[in-house]
Structure 1
């Protein structure tokens, strides 16, 4: 349980100042923001150009490409259910309905590495009726880049992912999303079309304090790329979910996606490191954030989560441009993180020591480089250089019960395997073919190339 339920007055004032400044400097009709800590909204604030009509956390805004995070979660649920592989060609499941996407994988579409064009053929899709493009083949234009080689943002790519989910679930995309994700997470105000109370979308004149209403269209099959409307309250729940807050036994979030799958989505999947599997990745003020920004005519939005700090933030505005909601959301998160850093959880001893796991811990040597292996909660292991910098990684136990899989950096995905002699004695660790021994170059271990018969006796 969190030790503090409320933010300090000075923190709340700083948050309000950021929202007020964002609305004034961005010249937006209204702006609403919220901060989540440990899975719960701890602050909300808003500002409006009309006195007495500021939005609240239940006012809907269009969230633009934050919609893509919802589309990605549906795809990952299908993967976890064994109904697809991320390296499947998407057309395998679409039955030839998008021939221009032939050979492109689901993973490439999720990470925007398919090489597809950023926009659909024909007139500006955000401002035209969806019935202009009724089929997947109608939204896929030319490939601009070789698949898998670079990050290139593609709205048609997410349209194909939405069509994929709709095909495999055999139901309209939004109906699937509502039943599979929104209802379990308690997000009733996230809808395909606006429901009152909702903000109106406006274009603000770039050189005068004037504005006009923006067009709102149902984008049809393009909806998974940016159609959804939501509220600050619902997006607080979504941000907590994406950040993994509260994903314990019995929590409804765990039934939607496992913590491991959410962590997988937050890891870089694009060559430049800017995108995971459905999530934008951002380095801001010394912290790593995962989330998404969004825009549609009349609206901009931002959502960021910092899982390591148990924090997330949301910012929504109803102007086409001028208000950097992504930056504002990151700033709201940073204000709380810097002014009220998380209180570390108390250390507690293990309640179920395992002698075999305990025997793995302690000093190990990769050649002459000393490492230490630590036992963590849930049978996890952590390998660290004993001194200085070097390759380090956390390892999660594999389903076979006898090996571990690397989670970080150089050893990500590599297998850690303890090796025992016929007598049962632990002789060494095999980490992706690297041999770790209890002493430097242990002559009893199967070190490739062997060791000198004179051992450490050589002098110059």
Structure 2
């Protein structure tokens, strides 16, 4: 059986349009745009507006607020991948004189640096950047509210520091680095630091009356890396495709996957999910979503990606409060995933060059004590170790050039799995971070730590 799907079914499109219409009406938003990306391509977009015949489209700019942080984080990861810095490096090693230099780059990316959530003084989103000309004006006299590294505490000033770090490493402005290293390679020509027509105006809607007033649109200055950008549903769809699959021109998939892993313990009541390196992670409707939400006066935005479903959704609106873009974007993903579930890739055998008798001899059941596990051969000579019954520690392993495998996820991430051989070359057992896996549970001749009772198995 073969199948080809260029667009969505009419019923699915109707459900998506209905969700956007409800969001605009119930959120009392001047306008609302939604879009869905499937397998890297936009397959639907729709909008609703209070002005008849003038609804925005997928090419209309909205301000995206803290979604900007994901772009800043990608620029930092590029510096890491080029060997210009390490995520565990203290900030002071690369950016001198901040007064908070003991904070690591990873802590800033994951909001675990203990820095304040906001800047001192006037509300930075609604006041001139001229009030904060230096980093000291952004950080204030009491930059730390918590001990660095202990817990998640969202910090906008932390991303100002990361933007200054990028500028110091590249020798160009944050905006120039963003344009040349991310926006241009991904074809995101409608993502800019300042609004470019056609763009929506930002509005505040009165909470108790159907009236509204325009919100100011301030240049954020040093705070730009935390929330400056304007973008469109179409451009954010391209960025969503990148977050799902990576792009060697920007960042390899392995590094993007690293960004999608929780980076720090959650602060109490902080998130319904977790936070990686510049990306939010949430569980909605039984699926994991990665991306970011954003807001600035006059605008709210959300971008969610379900890697497993091959789906992403964007929700943009031009109201300070009311429209629940994060919920709507998650709902758009759910509507498509449930109405048109992703077809699995057809099963294919491994390439012949990846399999040999020695590797195949390791496949099958193994026992850690009396716990039964199965070792399955994967692509590129990798393996998967998984419990055969009940709960247990499932992990994927990548083959190492020198032999053995390294864990890629879960409890065994970073741990080494190796086959230990007897003098005659036959496999005695598997060693995984000192855990011994044998072919039989507690066989007398097996290399079981502590030995096996000589009387063997017995009844009561």
TM-score (norm 1): 0.94
Is the contact between residue 64 and residue 227 of structure 1 (CA under 8 Å) also seen in structure 2? yes
Where does structure 1 lack aligned partners over 5 or more consecutive residues? Answer: 248-252
Which residue pairs with 1:250 in the alignment?
none
Change (3 A) 1:106 1:8: same
Alpha-carbon offset, residue 428 of structure 1: 1.4
SS at match of 2:184: helix
CA deviation after TM superposition for structure 1 residue 443, in Å? 4.0
Partner of residue 284, structure 1: 284
Deviation string 1:267-300 (CA, Å, 9 cap, x unpaired) is: 1112125111111111111111111000001100
Aligned CA distance change for structure 1 residues 49 and 196 (closer, same or farther; 3 Å):
same
Residue 459 of structure 1 and its aligned partner are, at CA, apart by 5.0
Give how far 1:131 is off: 2.7
> Any idea what the Cα deviations from partners look like across 1:74-126, whole Å, max 9, x if unmatched?
11111111111111111211022x11x13111111111111111001221111
Partner residue, 1:66: 67
Residue 230 (structure 1) aligned with residue 231 (structure 2): yes
In structure 2, what is the equivalent of residue 218 of structure 1? Answer: 219
Q: Which residue of 1 aligns with 2:252?
A: 258
- Residues 130-149 of structure 1 mapped to structure 2, 5 A cutoff: 130-141=129-140, 142-149=143-150
The Cα shift of 1:445 comes to 4.1
1:421-436, aligned counterparts within 5 Å? 421-436=422-437
1:376 correspondence with 2:370:
no
Q: Structure 2 CA distance, aligned partners of 1:437 and 1:8?
A: 52
Give the drift of 1:370: 1.1
Contact 2:240 2:304 in 1 (8 A): yes
The residue correspondences of 1:194-205 to structure 2 (distance < 5 A) are 194-205=195-206
- Secondary structure of the 1:309 match is coil
Q: Deviations over 1:327-353 (max 9, x none)?
A: 110000000011111011100111224
Q: Report the number of matched residues.
A: 449
Query: 1:2–1:38: 8 Å Cα contact kept in structure 2?
Result: no
Q: 2: distance between equivalents of 1:68 and 1:126?
A: 15
Q: Aligned partners of 2:181, 2:347: CA distance in 1, in Å?
A: 37
1:147-172, CA deviations, whole angstroms, 9 ceiling, x for partnerless residues?
A: 11111110001111111111111110
Report the secondary structure of 1:308's partner residue: coil
Please say which of residues 349-358 and 215-224 is displaced more in the overlay: 349-358
**In 2, Cα distance between equivalents of 1:254 and 1:128:** 39
Q: Distance in 2 between matches of 1:34 and 1:229?
A: 16
Q: Which runs of 5+ in 2 are unaligned?
A: 267-272
Please list, as runs of the form range in 1=range in 2, the aligned pairs for 1:381-392 lying within 5 A after superposition: 381-392=383-394
Task: Provide the C-alpha distance between the structure 1 equivalents of 2:159 and 2:402, rounded to a whole number of angstroms.
Answer: 37
Following superposition, the deviation at residue 416 of structure 1 comes to 1.5
Taking only aligned residues, the RMSD between alpha carbons, in angstroms, comes to: 1.5
User: Which runs of structure 2 are paired with 1:399-438 in the superposition (5 Å)?
Assistant: 400-438=401-439
Cα contact 1:159–1:224 (8 A) shared by 2: yes
